Amino acid sequence: MRAGVMDRVAYNERMTKYITANTVEEFRQHLADVHARIGAACAKAGRDPATVRLLPVSKTVSEARIRNAYAAGCHTLGENKVQEAQRKWQAMSDLPDLRWAIIGHLQTNKAKDVAEFASEFQALDSLRVATALDKHLQALGRSLDVLVQVNTSAEESKFGLPPEEVEAFVKLLPAFSSLRVRGLMTLALFSDDAAKVRPCFVRLHELRERLRQSAPDGITMDELSMGMSGDYELAIEEGSTIVRVGQAIFGARKTPDSAYWPDSHGPANA
């Protein structure tokens, strides 16, 4: 078995330990546990926990459970698949302050939908997508917070720009006035080995610091979205400002995280 496959298997097995939350009280307990771990990671890194935003990820979670999570305090949710997020947005339109962040790869034919309902898009990695989003946002009179996705692991299975192409890409983004560029996002290697995972986070942090010196006016590089249920404490140690946590809040999924980024570029938002 190849080393990368072995890493994914071990990572996925560790994710199965998370207990499913169903009731409001169970969600409150899971959120408290995650916030405690965020606090401990911040203390270790000498950071203020207020500098880290928790983004609960609700992919594959039913509407009923999401409503209980909302009652427990989850008012912004991350989703990978646009159709799934849009369906949930429509079904829960009675919750006016429930916001949706798209964190998965986007095809241009879904840009109109994202422009309609999303408050945040964390996977910008092409001018085609930027053009499509800007066009539809302009038509709706809306703007959208976006993060540029960077492939810090150099894996062909992952979307995102190579680190060396990000600076030139960012310099083109002021042309899209409805896109509010806030920072960078990455997916680390799926591994239980911190020595393999940490360099992905270090690489994104270092890139962000360089971009702060060269980014055009109107482009901010304040946000680093990195870290998920299996590695968010490590990400916080390396400067993450947004952690995308699903299974540690909602419980283990039948479909593991790594299945959303398969070994070859398949359908968008997989």
Cα–Cα distance between 248 and 6 in angstroms, integer? Answer: 22
Cα–Cα dist 159/156, whole Å: 8
Question: What are the structural domains, with CATH classification, of the chain?
Answer: 3-253 (3.20.20.10)
Cβ–Cβ < 8 Å for 33, 267? no
Give yes or no for residue 34 having a pLDDT over 50. Answer: yes
157 pLDDT band (50/70/90 cuts)? confident
Q: Are strands 179-186 and 223-225 parallel, antiparallel or unpaired?
A: parallel
| Residue 257 confidence class, pLDDT cut points 50, 70, 90 | low
By CB atoms closer than 10 A (0-12, 13-18, 19+), residue 117 is middle
pLDDT for residue 183 is more than 70 = yes
Task: Using alpha carbons, list the distances in angstroms from residue 267 to 47, 127, 270.
Answer: 38, 19, 6
Q: Which of 36, 10, 31 is nearest to 21 (CA)?
A: 31
Per DSSP, 77 falls in state E
Q: Tell me the per-residue pLDDT of 90-120, one tens digit each, with 9 for 90 and over.
A: 999 999 899 999 999 999 999 999 999 999 9
